[in-house]
Amino acid sequence: MLPKTSRIPGFYKLKPKERLEIVKDFASLTEDEVEALMNTGSLPIELADRMIENVIGAIPIPIGVAVNFLINGRDYMIPMAIEEPSVVAAASNAARMARRSGGFHAECTSSVMIGQIQCVGIKDPYRAKMEVLSAKEEILQKANEQDPLLVSLGGGAIDLEARVIDTRSGPMLITHLLVDCKDAMGANAVNTMAEAVAPMIERITGGRVYLRIISNLATKRLARAWTKIDKEAVGGEEVVDGIVEAYNFASADPYRAATHNKGIMNGVIAVAIATCNDHRAIEAGAHAYAAISGRYLPLSVWEKNEDGDLVGSIELPMAVGTVGGATRVHPIAKICLKILGVKSANELAAVMAAVGLAQNLAALRALADEGIQRGHMKLHARNIAIQAGAKGELIDLLVQRMVEERKIRLDRAKELLKELTSSNS
């Protein structure tokens, strides 16, 4: 038999079904597996095929709705798309604690994104920097000619910054084109503008432009949220102290800060996926922002006020859109946006910051109080029971037994399932 090859010329030109036939042969997929891939539910395969390349199916991820969220005095239901158990319940729980004292306050600084233009080979980069800055109006005009629609909506290129940086290959002039993207995430608009003004930058500086691309470190588009939680709502002053100690730990140790921030991103990214926003961009921006001081720090802060109550705040870049991209193409993302009821990208960004803070609070409270495993155990056990092959009410029975034994393992689940099915038959 000839060895299997993944070199398949013209694969991209095929229809999803034809591609799937090839993949089926390559990976020895069964008819059922092929069927499962083709069954793309509410994302028609033709639409999926227009969204990305080489499509052969779609993967459904559960959407849960976090409740109890009071943000800026308004009630929100938060659709969250995530595969991890406990996250949605934890967010709802934290939001319930917060709403007793007014919920969350949240805002987003602006919808301005940064396009970077890298220029090298300039003998006198500081002179070049001055000349680029002094050509600001001309450069902005050229940028804005690329997107009359965005300009007509009140957005577009609004300012210019220039920095000389030292690199391994000598100084570089990095021009930042600041673009107000309004309700779009803006990557397409910013990249088009950065490419359009690049020849001007070369002419002005005498240097050579290489990269022209958006920066995901969106420091002009910061979402902020803060809340005060009554000490009684969180479980007493000892728990408040535990949460503050957890924050102090994270702010002194990047190993902990990474996990602290992961907990925040559990909430933020679940909303990003539900609304089909570019979650990789948000994730990259968040972690770069966490390290912007030169040290990787937690994105949130937890303090105890003079009454012994818990005060939390968060600030992170939040490049999200409510128009453009996949958000307005994916039928489920459109519905999730409707559930959220946000009127603008800034509002969505603010809500997402509040969800991140709530998620962080829930994790820290569980860690500082009972430990995270107790809450996680039941949901984890459910997944293991299903993996072991349990169906219907056997799932609950199996979960109960595993939790009682505190042994949540696939091998044990299989043994118990055998016992239960033989005693039932």
Q: How many CA atoms lie within 13 A of 182 on its CB side?
A: 14
Nearer to ligand MEV, 142 or 380 (CB): 380
How would DSSP label each residue in 165-197?
EEETTEEEEEEEEEEE-TTB--HHHHHHHHHHH
Among 259, 344, 383, 400, the residue binding ligand MEV under the rule CB under 6 A is 259
Part of the chain binding ligand MEV (CB under 6 A), chosen from 11-19, 254-262, 293-301, 391-399: 254-262
107 forms beta bridges with 224
- Residue 278 is a catalytic residue: yes
Q: Does 262 bind ligand MEV (CB under 6 A)?
A: yes
Output the residue with the shortest Cβ distance to ligand MEV: 263
- Residue 287 is a catalytic residue: no
Considering 105, 136, 262, 414, which one is annotated as catalytic? 262
Q: How many CA atoms lie within 13 A of 61 on its CB side?
A: 17
Question: What helix, strand, coil percent values describe the chain, rounded to 5?
Answer: 50, 20, 30
Token duo for residue 347: 């509002």
Q: Which of residues 51-90 bind ligand MEV (CB under 6 A)?
A: 84
Q: Does 372 bind ligand MEV (CB under 6 A)?
A: yes
Nearer to ligand MEV, 344 or 383 (CB): 383
Residue 300 burial (10 A CB sphere; 0-12, 13-18, 19+): buried
Q: Which of 124, 158, 121 is nearest to 139 (CA)?
A: 158
Considering 147, 278, 309, 347, which one is annotated as catalytic? 278
Answer yes or no: are the C-beta atoms of 70 and 88 closer than 8 Å: no
> Smallest distance, Å, CB 242 to ligand MEV?
12
Tell me the C-alpha to C-alpha distance, in Å, between residue 104 and each of 49, 148, 149, 239, 259.
Answer: 40, 37, 34, 20, 23
Part of the chain binding ligand MEV (CB under 6 A), chosen from 17-25, 276-284, 360-368, 410-418: 360-368
Q: Does 383 bind ligand MEV (CB under 6 A)?
A: no
Q: Does 379 bind ligand MEV (CB under 6 A)?
A: no
**Residues near ligand MEV (CB under 6 A), total:** 10
Among 129, 228, 260, 279, the residue binding ligand MEV under the rule CB under 6 A is 260
CB atoms within 10 A of CB 301: 17
- Residue 262 is a catalytic residue: yes
Q: Which of residues 263-292 bind ligand MEV (CB under 6 A)?
A: 263, 266
Q: Which residues contact 35 (CB under 8 A, 6 or more apart)?
A: none
> Smallest distance, Å, CB 330 to ligand MEV?
25
Contacts with ligand MEV by CB under 6 A lie at: 84, 259-260, 262-263, 266, 363-364, 367, 372
